[in-house]
Amino acid sequence: MALEGAQQLLDFSQKLDINLLDNVIKTMYHGTGPQQKAAQEVLVKLQTHPDAWQRVDLILEFSTNQETKHYALQILSNVIKTRWKVLPREQCDGVKKFIVGIIIKLSSDAAASEKEKVFLNKLNIVLIEIVKQEWPRNWPTFISELVGASKTNEHLCRNNMIILKLLSEEVFDFSQGIMTQAKVKHLKDTMCSEFSEVFSLCTLVLDNSTCISLVQATLGTLLGFLNWIPLGYIFETKLISQLTQKFLSVPDFRNITLKCVTEIAGIDARAHEDQFCELFSLTMAQIKTMLPLTTNLKDAYKTGRDDEQNFIQNMALFISTILQEHGQYIEGKSDLHSTLLEALHYLVLISEVEEKEIFKICLEYWNSLTSDLYRESPYSNNPMSYPLLTNNSSIPPRRQLYLPILSNVRLVLIFHMAKPEEVLVVENEQGEVVREFMKDTDAISLYKTMRETLVYLTHLDYADTEHIMTQKLHNQVNGSEWSWKNLNTLCWAIGSISGAMHEEDEKRFLVTVIKDLLGLCEMKRGKDNKAIIASNIMYIVGQYPRFLRQHWKFLKTVVNKLFEFMHETHDGVQDMACDTFIKIAQKCKRHFVTVQVAEVMPFIEEILNGINAIICDLQPHQVHTFYEAVGYMIQAQADVQVQERLIEKCMSLPNQVWDRIINNATQSVETLKDPECVKQLGNILKTNVRACQAIGHPFVTQLGRIYLDMLNVYQVLSENISTAVQQNGEQVLKQPLVASMRTVKKEALRLISAWVAKSTDPKQVCENFVPPLLNAVLGDYNRNHPNARDSEVLSTMTVFINKLENHITGEVPKIFDAVFECTLDMIKDNFEDFPEHRTNFYLLLESINQHCFPALLQIPPDKFKLVMDSIVWAFKHMMHNVAETGLLTVLTLLHNLDGKDVAQSFYQTYFLNILQHVLSVVTDSTNAAQLSNQSKLLAYMYSLVESKKITVPLYPESSAPDMDNVVFVKGYTQDLLKKAFPNLQDVQVSVFLDGMYALNQDTTAFREHLRDFLVQIKECAGEDLTDLYLQEKKEQLKAAAAAKLKYQMTVPGILNPHEVTEEMND
């Protein structure tokens, strides 16, 4: 293909060469190299040409290439989305008539519609785009025309059913954020009012048609309608009996029919409960005929065809949906009890199917059922009032009905138990025992739901739970069920019910479990076997801190066992031993610093006396974890003098190495260029950081001991790095020695940040720690090569300002001078470079604005302008966190200015500039995720104007002396929007601006108003609208998670013991 030839396609004075277009598109899809690129460029230009859509009819009529036809429909689709409202009416009618004509021609012929299936589907989608623009105002007869045409030809009817389903989805499922709220409501109302014709057509087909594909399409369309149609069509017609008795048992229709029945089962309509019972009874009768209760569904699924596997999944969906929505009403009908128990038995059988998605469906129902049964009669702290410790008569009747089936559910859950996050030793696909490095988030989520369900099941009948688990553990010991998988799932299940039993029962149960597991560990040979058993022991003991707190000897034995495992070099065992140790230290810390019965000293003293022997085989990162764990114990010591002695003793090993290095460096600074020495410094500081994070403010004694030496080391290493960069260029920063030096600098900053964040004496910090740090760090940061600057300097300053607030205001100008401009120079050229510096820079600005605002007002005007420019730059960012920080910083700044003397001059200089940039960001589709924060900022800005808090004129007084700010800002905004979006009508802009003033006190209404306007803009621009609800969805999920946590805190055992805070424990 010659490129010159392809360019002819862009000459609209010539007749279109269809063969040439086909060749160019073939080159685009199947060519390579420069030719493909040239073809792509031509096609993009052609697609964006304003007159290209007028050639679509020729292309569709004469091209023989499917890809060319799809390309033509893409051009047409873009025009419909973006320019339909400005096209002359006769052109709109012409396009409409043309598309309808092709669809009728293709879909009326069975062979043609099958051959051109993909093309026909794309035509249907284009038609729906037209319908969304035209119906009902310009095409009021659309539904009746479609229904009328359907009665003339079965093949045409089948395609029309697909069109109706697409329309239903567009209006009822996908309309949020894509159409304005008023338009969505209008289309929904129209669809409901005209539905009788559609329903009559569906009934006609279901009553009379023998065409399998048409009936399938009709059932599929009906499935799309069932979640919104008026309920009379479902409950006051023969629809339910027709679905269950005519179609459900027919293999060709059973899956789609069961989906329809499930959709009906999910409807919340309390007035029709009797019909739901009938639906349940009729459907279960048909299922029993097709799949008798004696069927092994696990095997049936494994060997079944796709449609048979789908049927088992659809069964799970139906049973779980109808019982979740209407189970309590069905329970009330004694004649349905046997059917109910059969349905539950089916669900237990389906739960055993080896398919994760199907298991999740069943699990969701078991979780809902067990939590519901638990709520009826919650846990009591008094064992005598625990219903299952007394006779059966005190068990609530509902619970009695479900007890037999729930025992089977316990067995299934224990057998399938998912792996908890804490377990690091796993069996891989090759059957080897290895350490897990990647977290499987899906498995963690599944584990949490299973754990919650098992806790409810334990509350409902802890004796049965204990019996099943104990029996299965005996079977591991006697070898009848021994396997790594069986032992793992059982131990994960045992660990997951911590807190769900009464203490006495838990004690008896746990002692049995640990004895059996320790015996198993002694009995089994081979490192892999021992590693699996060890990992399970560690997981279980880590999950029962309440038991450990009550039984000191057992706690001490467990910790000594963990110290043994710290010498076990099998993959993952040492990591897990350290992780379990730190969890136990957090939950039982007070027990380590007090003298226990029959002991001569607190156990922490024993640990510190033998610390060298305990950690000698650990890797550096494991040593850091160990020190943090010991730090939690020391933090629990209330006696200050004892605590100081423990800190000194704990840090004596790293301090010995530190002192040796510092002494050598004092004699020869060249010591600090030795790779091993620099590496040791990094590890020592990391150890200090972890210990400090656990101990908190009292760590000041250790920090004070090394502080000035650490800052000297910081400065020397900075000089070394700068010299290396000057001599060898910035590539030297990647060399191992220089990278290790930078690690030492970063860890020094992290140590200071960690301590300041936990400090309780701002005066002490400001007088003794801030001045030497600023002297050592700020000048170095300012002078350094950009690539050698550590973003931790910015985050450390942010920690100082957030913690010390107004105490550090006097130092802010010094910090500002050192870091502001040089960092801005690093990040201002684009949105990508130095992402960590970028994030930390804006967090620093936000903290100064929030806590040291007076300091911000003291900086010179030219510097202040730079600050404002950088904040505007922030909220234009693609990085979500930076954009959010920028918007919140502006909002806080405007609130801080309220009532200040400088406010009016600020408004005069910056208000319109900020408004212009915020509007440009709001109307830019790439920033839709920040809509909630953007609307808060805009609402506040318009309220400032409306409430006359801005008293200075925002307009040039000479040009309009009688103007006021409200009128001016409205006109200013109108001009901005009209320039940016010329396709918008004046009335649209005017209504939008009226709302900006009328709704600025109601943030929700203001946001919805803003969103509707963005929908209108995006309709004109043909852009994607899916992100307009993103932030609210995040906020809704956050609120739902908080509500769930609040409830979970009332159910013993539901929260993982390590998610429970100390206050909740106490």
Write out pLDDT tens, residues 719-747: 999 999 989 988 898 899 999 999 999 99
Chain position carrying tokens 């004649």: 335
User: Hey, how many other C-beta atoms are within 10 angstroms of the C-beta on 326?
Assistant: 23
User: Hey, how many other C-beta atoms are within 10 angstroms of the C-beta on 538?
Assistant: 29
756, 800 Cβ separation under 8 angstroms = yes
The more confidently predicted of residues 648 and 960 is 648
Taking the C-alpha atoms of residue 123 and residue 14, their distance in angstroms, rounded to an integer, is 27
Q: pTM for this structure?
A: 0.77
The more confidently predicted of residues 539 and 385 is 539
Tell me whether residue 476 is exposed, middle or buried, using C-beta atoms within 10 angstroms of its C-beta: 0 to 12, 13 to 18, 19 or more: buried
Winning range, highest mean pLDDT, from 254-268, 824-838, 962-976, 986-1000: 254-268
The more confidently predicted of residues 1037 and 755 is 755
Task: Please state whether 963 falls in left (phi above 0), alpha (psi between -120 and 50) or beta.
Answer: beta
Taking the C-alpha atoms of residue 390 and residue 461, their distance in angstroms, rounded to an integer, is 12
The length of the chain in residues reads 1066
- Report whether pLDDT(385) > 70: no
User: pLDDT category, 1004, cuts 50, 70, 90?
Assistant: confident
Model confidence over 4-14: pLDDT tens digits?
A: 677 888 888 88
Tokens of 107: 């879909």
Q: Look at residue 1030 in the predicted model and tell me its pLDDT.
A: 45
Q: Look at residue 453 in the predicted model and tell me its pLDDT.
A: 96
Q: Is the Cα dihedral 717, 721, 727, 732 positive or negative?
A: positive
Q: Is the Cα dihedral 584, 586, 592, 596 positive or negative?
A: negative
841, 816 Cβ separation under 8 angstroms = no
- Report whether pLDDT(831) > 80: no
Give the residue from 690, 570, 702 showing the smallest Cα distance to 620: 690
- Report whether pLDDT(485) > 70: yes
Lowest mean pLDDT among 116-125, 388-397, 414-423: 388-397
Tokens of 989: 């802009």
- Report whether pLDDT(174) > 80: no
Q: Look at residue 183 in the predicted model and tell me its pLDDT.
A: 75
573, 530 Cβ separation under 8 angstroms = no
User: pLDDT category, 432, cuts 50, 70, 90?
Assistant: low
Q: Look at residue 423 in the predicted model and tell me its pLDDT.
A: 72
Q: Look at residue 1026 in the predicted model and tell me its pLDDT.
A: 40
User: pLDDT category, 189, cuts 50, 70, 90?
Assistant: confident
Beta bridge partners of 427: 433
- Report whether pLDDT(388) > 50: no
Lowest mean pLDDT among 665-669, 693-697, 989-993, 1027-1031: 1027-1031
180, 169 Cβ separation under 8 angstroms = no
Tokens of 342: 């059969």
Tokens of 391: 């006779």
Taking the C-alpha atoms of residue 823 and residue 370, their distance in angstroms, rounded to an integer, is 56
User: Hey, how many other C-beta atoms are within 10 angstroms of the C-beta on 658?
Assistant: 22
Lowest mean pLDDT among 52-56, 434-438, 692-696: 434-438
Q: CA 798: distance to chain centroid?
A: 27
CB-hemisphere CA count at 13 Å for 623?
Answer: 21
992, 1008 Cβ separation under 8 angstroms = no
Lowest mean pLDDT among 156-165, 373-382, 538-547, 701-710: 373-382
Q: Is the Cα dihedral 618, 620, 622, 626 positive or negative?
A: positive
Region 627-634: mean pLDDT is 97
Taking the C-alpha atoms of residue 1024 and residue 1043, their distance in angstroms, rounded to an integer, is 33
722, 788 Cβ separation under 8 angstroms = yes
User: Hey, how many other C-beta atoms are within 10 angstroms of the C-beta on 1064?
Assistant: 9
Q: Look at residue 570 in the predicted model and tell me its pLDDT.
A: 79
Lowest mean pLDDT among 538-547, 568-577, 795-804: 568-577
User: pLDDT category, 688, cuts 50, 70, 90?
Assistant: very high
Q: Is the Cα dihedral 317, 320, 321, 322 positive or negative?
A: positive
- Report whether pLDDT(40) > 50: yes
Q: Look at residue 437 in the predicted model and tell me its pLDDT.
A: 58
Tokens of 907: 């408004």
CB-hemisphere CA count at 13 Å for 952?
Answer: 14
- Report whether pLDDT(691) > 90: yes
Q: Look at residue 272 in the predicted model and tell me its pLDDT.
A: 92
Model confidence over 271-292: pLDDT tens digits?
A: 999 999 999 999 999 999 999 9
Q: Look at residue 560 in the predicted model and tell me its pLDDT.
A: 93
H/E stretch holding 906 reads helix 903-922
Lowest mean pLDDT among 62-66, 174-178, 237-241, 996-1000: 174-178
Q: Look at residue 578 in the predicted model and tell me its pLDDT.
A: 92
Taking the C-alpha atoms of residue 845 and residue 889, their distance in angstroms, rounded to an integer, is 8
Q: Look at residue 380 in the predicted model and tell me its pLDDT.
A: 60
Q: What percent of the chain has pLDDT over 70?
A: 92
Q: Look at residue 1029 in the predicted model and tell me its pLDDT.
A: 43
- Tell how many helices (H) and how many strands (E) occur in the chain: 53, 2
423, 489 Cβ separation under 8 angstroms = no
313, 362 Cβ separation under 8 angstroms = no
- Report whether pLDDT(297) > 90: yes
Find all residues with CB under 8 Å of 569, minimum gap 6, and list them: 617
Q: Look at residue 387 in the predicted model and tell me its pLDDT.
A: 42
Taking the C-alpha atoms of residue 996 and residue 1010, their distance in angstroms, rounded to an integer, is 8
The more confidently predicted of residues 1039 and 323 is 323
* pLDDT averaged over every residue in the chain: 88
CB-hemisphere CA count at 13 Å for 193?
Answer: 9
H/E stretch holding 327 reads helix 306-331
Lowest mean pLDDT among 356-370, 377-391, 796-810: 377-391
